[in-house]
Each structure stands twice: as C-alpha cells, then as structure tokens.
Amino acid sequence: MLSYFKTVDGRMTQIEACEPGCWINCVAPDDREIESLIADFAIEPDFIRAAMDEEESSHIDNEDDNTLVVIDIPVVEQNGKSLAYSTMPMGLILAEKNVITISIRDNTVVDEFARGLVKGVRTNLKTRFLLHIMLRVASRYLQYLKQIDKISNTVESELRESMKNSELLQLLDIEKSLVYFSSSLKGNEITLEKIMRGRVIKLYDEDQDLLEDVLIEVKQAIEMSNIHLNILSGTMDAFASVISNNLNIVMKALASITLLFSVPAVITGAYGMNVTGIPFPSFWFPAALSFLCIAIAYWILHRKKML
C-alpha cells in the first residue's frame, strides 16, 4: 500500500498523489506498486528487495542519485498473555526529490509520523527527515527496554515463590528479545557512523546536532540493553539453581517422612507374624515402641537438618 504525505504549514498532511518534496510510505507493497516505484524514481530493484527482506541487517548503500538506508526498528506483538519483542528492517530511500520508506508491515514509528505526532518534521528536507526517523526509532528502543525491565522484575517476583518452568521460559523470551535489540542497535550505530562521515549522504550544518542526538540515544539504548542482558543472564542462572535446590529440599523431606513411616511398619509387621517368643505380645507394646522409635528417628533427622 502506498500513501503520500507532505508538510503543509508545519503539519504533516496526507495528499492524494506524489509531489516533489513529499514522503512516500510503502507498507507491504505488491508487485504493481513495486514496479511503479522502480519506474517513477529510477530505484534499483535490489533496494526494494533489501528493504523487504526480514533478515536484512542495517546498512547504507548508494547507487546513482538514490541512497538506501536500512535500519532495524523494534516491534512488539501480543503472544498469548505475554508480549513478544523483536526487530524488523525498514528501508529509507532518498530519491532526487522525495523520501521513500518501505516496510513489510505496519509499525508504530511510521504511524506516529503519518499522524503528525512528531513535531518539527519537514518532508522536503530529506536528510533531516531521515534523522528524525532514526531518532524516533532510538527513542522507541529505550521505551521498550523500560517495559522489558518492568516485565522481568514482575517475572522475577513470581519466580521467587514458584518451582515451575513457565517463569523461566518467559525470562528466556525476554533474554532473546534483548539479544535482538542489542545486535540491531549495534548495526544502527554503525550505519549512523557512516552517515556522520558525510560521504554517502550530504550533511548540512543544522543536521549535525540532530545526528549527534541520534547517536547519543542509540549508544544509551545499546548500553541499557547490554546491562539488562547481563543482569538477566545472571538472574536466570541463579533462579535455575534456586529451583533445583528447592526440589532437592522437597525430595529430602519426602525421603525423611517415608523413613519415619517405615519404622512402625517394620515393628507391627514383626508382631503380626504367627511366631512365638516375641516379648510383650500385646497391643500397647508395639504401639509404644513404634512411637518411641519414630520420636528418636525424628530427633536424629531434625539435628541433621533433614526435616
């Protein structure tokens, strides 16, 4: 699907057709739309394929008058009762007079620009528009990292009182999300550093401050994701040991209880046999002897901290 937007009187406005200086948003374009983009803007077909490849990593490429910048953006999806965080590539093509964004599905970053929620954006300033998108992407990473931190704290609290695997598996999903975020952020950082050199994309003086802000946000997100990843890895190892230790405690208690109940079974079994010569062949003696043996066994097990 193709949609066109342009900054009119300082506000993002959707327009009916393409104009010079407008932003073209492509979400899961079909073959006809792709052919139209290639013909109208002389775009390399490889640019389109790279932008729509789910496994594509962040990079920057230049061909003739068009420049392709692929960045990884964070996405969140509902997975049953929990949230699943991952990343997806989005391509930004700087054509001669337009900016084109290509993504395989809808995402919150593009939606915020389309709805005019991001202030100070001008679609005719291609480089600045690109940097605004990358700044919004970095801010979204930071927002999701804070959400992940809250979720992990909640799961840890539940795990302290549980011996089930569900909480550990949820922490494993969070750790996987952090790995995705960390690797994607590092790729975005490398792309930003290439842009900063000014060899592929022409930078103006007023773009330098914005580019530095983007780099600061990306570096902060990288540091935060690495910190959360290290903490979570240690936490998972610790809780796995705790669960194993709790299981050992339960098994030790059950074995001790089994031992206690086996004592009267042995004594009453001996008195229940049809033999002669057993001392005090009456009901009260084996019962009293059983209680006495149980008390002694309990005292011994308690001293050895097995009960």
Q: One digit per residue, pLDDT tens: the chain, 307 residues?
A: 888 888 888 888 888 888 888 888 988 888 888 888 888 888 888 888 888 888 888 888 888 778 889 999 998 887 767 778 889 999 998 888 888 899 888 888 888 888 888 888 888 888 888 899 999 999 999 999 998 888 888 887 777 776 566 777 788 888 888 888 999 999 989 988 888 887 778 777 778 888 888 899 999 999 999 998 888 888 777 777 777 777 787 788 888 788 777 877 777 776 666 666 666 666 667 777 778 887 887 787 777 776 6
Kindly state whether residues 98 and 240 are assigned to the same domain: yes
Enter the pTM of the model.
0.78
Q: Of 198, 218, 245, which closes a domain?
A: 245
Q: What is the pLDDT of residue 272?
A: 67
Kindly state whether residues 234 and 250 are assigned to the same domain: no
Kindly state whether residues 29 and 139 are assigned to the same domain: yes
Kindly state whether residues 107 and 19 are assigned to the same domain: yes
Kindly state whether residues 165 and 260 are assigned to the same domain: no
Q: What domain count does the chain have?
A: 2
At 208, which amino acid appears? Q
Is residue 129 within 8 A of residue 23, CB to CB? The reply is: yes
Q: Which residues pair with 68 in a beta bridge?
A: 61, 93
Q: What is the pLDDT of residue 275?
A: 61
Residue 301 φ/ψ, nearest 5 degrees: -65, -35
Q: Of 202, 226, 245, which closes a domain?
A: 245
Kindly state whether residues 288 and 212 are assigned to the same domain: no
Look up the domain containing 40 and give its range. 2-245
Kindly state whether residues 183 and 291 are assigned to the same domain: no
Q: Of 226, 245, 264, which closes a domain?
A: 245
Q: What is the pLDDT of residue 164?
A: 64
Is residue 7 within 8 A of residue 19, CB to CB? The reply is: no
| φ/ψ bin of 54: left (φ > 0), alpha (ψ from -120 to 50), beta (otherwise) | alpha
